[in-house]
């Protein structure tokens, strides 16, 4: 690992993303970006998550006083159900409706990731795809899961690192961390490309 001093910033307030980044044992700080996460006309889910990951990283950069080499991580995730983007449900009622729509289906999760170097004005952007094969979900299971995990701030209302694991039959992905919110394999590749790890 490169021992040159640099400042790594996770542009997220997500406890799950913070927990994942801690696996790498690289010191980092967090900073929450404030951006409009609405999709744009004719924007695909893949384009949306990559654009939002970049916008989050750039938004964080405007909040920092840069006195040393600084690298900012921005990320975004959406679920696609029946060809439609499903974001965070926010409410219990919407989470029930979303999970009922996901029952017995294969749901695709897209993760956009951006590593931004504001001093050199350079960036790397990646996309990770995860297919989740959902079990047939009973009303009782959905209600129990929502009461236990309260995943209202998770894409599709699905929190795989908690009780949400009982909702799935299998995952298909190049990165097991992506579903939780931060594709560490892609991030490591980015850090290595710039000789930061």
- Rounded CA gap, 27 and 125, in Å? 22
What are the φ and ψ backbone dihedral angles of 54, each rounded to 5 degrees? -65, -45
Question: 68 CB contacts (<8 Å, ≥6 apart)?
Answer: 5, 6, 7
| Count of CB atoms situated within 10 Å of the CB of 115 | 26
Give the helix, strand, coil percentages of the chain, each rounded to 5. 35, 25, 40
36 is catalytic: no
Among residues 34, 36, 39, 76, the one annotated as catalytic is 76
Structure tokens at 26: 């690289």
Q: Which residues are catalytic?
A: 76
């Amino acid at each position: 690992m490169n021992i040159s001093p640099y400042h790594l910033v996770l542009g997220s307030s997500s406890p799950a993303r913070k927990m994942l980044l801690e696996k790498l044992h690289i010191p980092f700080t967090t900073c929450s970006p404030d951006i409009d996460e609405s999709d744009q006309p004719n924007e695909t889910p893949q384009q949306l998550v990559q654009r939002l990951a970049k916008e989050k990283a750039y938004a964080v950069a405007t909040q920092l006083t840069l006195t040393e080499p600084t690298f900012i991580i921005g990320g975004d995730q959406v679920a696609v159900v029946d060809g439609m983007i499903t974001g965070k449900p926010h409410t219990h009622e919407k989470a029930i409706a979303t999970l009922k729509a996901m029952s017995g289906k294969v749901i695709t999760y897209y993760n956009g990731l951006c590593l931004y170097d504001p001093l050199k004005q350079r960036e790397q952007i990646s996309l990770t795809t995860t297919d989740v094969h959902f079990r047939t979900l009973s009303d009782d299971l959905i209600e129990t899961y929502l009461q236990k995990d309260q995943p209202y701030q998770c894409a599709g209302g699905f929190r795989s690192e908690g009780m949400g694991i009982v909702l799935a039959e299998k995952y298909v992905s190049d990165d097991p961390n992506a579903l939780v919110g931060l594709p560490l394999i892609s991030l490591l590749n980015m850090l290595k490309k710039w000789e930061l790890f």
